Copies of this chain bind each other. A is one copy, B any other.
Amino acid sequence: MKIDNDFFMKLAIDEAWKYQLLTYPNPAVGCVVVKNDSEILAIEAHKEAGGAHAEVNALKEAYLKYHPNTILKTIKDSFKIHEYLIKNHNGFFNDCTIYVTLEPCNHVGKTPSCANLIKQLKPKKVIIAHKDLNNVAKDGQKTLEEVGIKCELGCMQKEAYDLLFPFIKWNSNSFIFYKMAQTLNGTIDGGKISSNQALAYVHALRDKIDLLMIGGNSVRIDKPTLDARFVAGRAPEVLIYSKNKVFEPSIALFKIPNRKVTISDDLFKLLDYKFVMIEGGYTLLEKLKEKIDYIMLIISPKIKVGLNAINESLDLEFEIIHENYVGPDKIVYLKRIK
């Protein structure tokens, strides 16, 4: 197996995907620091909005690998990590290459500018998978090159674009993803399909999204709560997609305090929200396929008889964008290509 730039960038991309969507409204970003040509010092990611950027997490871990007993270990605040590294690096990063899935940010916001930090640490090279298109944060590469740091743009760009895509949509209009849980053979009924770990993951997503949309039939049949109790999170606003506006008020989802629920069959409403999750089965998928950016398929490793796509006229093709595990289940991210 070739141990090259693609290999290291793939480690950064995979690490970033672990936090995909959970960093909203920030992009999922991964960073790998390699000393000399192939000594991996750190594989890190941006984990949540407001927290340290991927580069900062990775540079901190890289430094700690050679200086394990320094006070840096206890510092969590981004500004203070920057300050510590700038003061103490002592040329440590001069023989390092930094692999980052997105161009280092060039502005000071909730956290300081990564381009400015890297500029002062003077690594041998910075390899960037995808350009930052954001008007405020862009041009980090220029900042680095101005002080003579060698940069390379475009390593695994396609994979980095797929990783960045939700962020691009958040910044332009809406990112809409469809979450579906099924068995290996596509069965979607039969009580609890997914593992507790997968359910907790879905709850963590519900805690982040601006809107959860669900079909009227699912509400009538499953009587769901649609909250984020497994992660002690916020119950998201709900849009019930239904022509028929009449629902039993005893259904659990209506009883969450301070939650807004709308019943509507106007899909344009989705565009009022930046980050939308749709939970549903095959019928709703067929109806909404044109509106969906990604499908998140949670697959439980079982084969069993049950409700499947058999009553629809589905004929969809996808590219597999990424996959993770969550407990014993798989998560597959799909982009429709037909």
Q: Which residues of A contact B (CB under 8 A)?
A: 1, 3, 15, 35-44, 65, 182-187, 282, 285, 297, 301-305, 308-310, 312-320, 323, 325, 328, 330, 332, 334
Q: A305-B315, A308-B310 are in contact. List 13 more A-B contacts (CB 8 A).
A: A36-B39, A39-B40, A184-B297, A185-B314, A301-B317, A303-B309, A304-B314, A304-B316, A305-B313, A308-B308, A319-B328, A320-B330, A323-B323
In the assembled complex, the Cα of A222 lies from the Cα of B182 at a distance in Å of 29
In the assembled complex, the Cα of A334 lies from the Cα of B185 at a distance in Å of 13
Task: Indicate which residue in B40, B44, B301 contacts A40 across the interface (CB closer than 8 Å).
Answer: B40
Chain B residues with CB under 8 A of A318? 184, 301-303
Q: Check A315–B304 contact: CB distance below 8 A.
A: yes
Q: Check B42–A39 contact: CB distance below 8 A.
A: no
Write 21 A-B pairs (CB below 8 A) sorted by A numbering: A3-B41, A35-B39, A37-B39, A39-B40, A183-B186, A184-B318, A186-B186, A301-B318, A301-B319, A301-B320, A303-B318, A304-B309, A304-B315, A304-B316, A305-B310, A305-B314, A305-B315, A319-B328, A320-B325, A320-B328, A323-B330
Q: Check A3–B317 contact: CB distance below 8 A.
A: no
Q: Check A42–B3 contact: CB distance below 8 A.
A: yes
Most buried by B among A40, A182, A301, A310: A301
Most buried by B among A185, A314, A315, A330: A185
Chain B residues with CB under 8 A of A38? 39-41, 65
Closest to A301 in B: B318
In the assembled complex, the Cα of A312 lies from the Cα of B15 at a distance in Å of 40
Chain B residues with CB under 8 A of A315? 302-305
Task: Please give the distance in Å from A277's CB to the nearest CB on chain B.
Answer: 19
In the assembled complex, the Cα of A334 lies from the Cα of B318 at a distance in Å of 23
Q: Check B320–A302 contact: CB distance below 8 A.
A: no
Chain B residues with CB under 8 A of A301? 317-320, 334
Task: Indicate which residue in B36, B184, B316 contacts A186 across the interface (CB closer than 8 Å).
Answer: B184
In the assembled complex, the Cα of A187 lies from the Cα of B185 at a distance in Å of 7
Most buried by B among A183, A184, A319, A325: A184
In the assembled complex, the Cα of A51 lies from the Cα of B189 at a distance in Å of 49
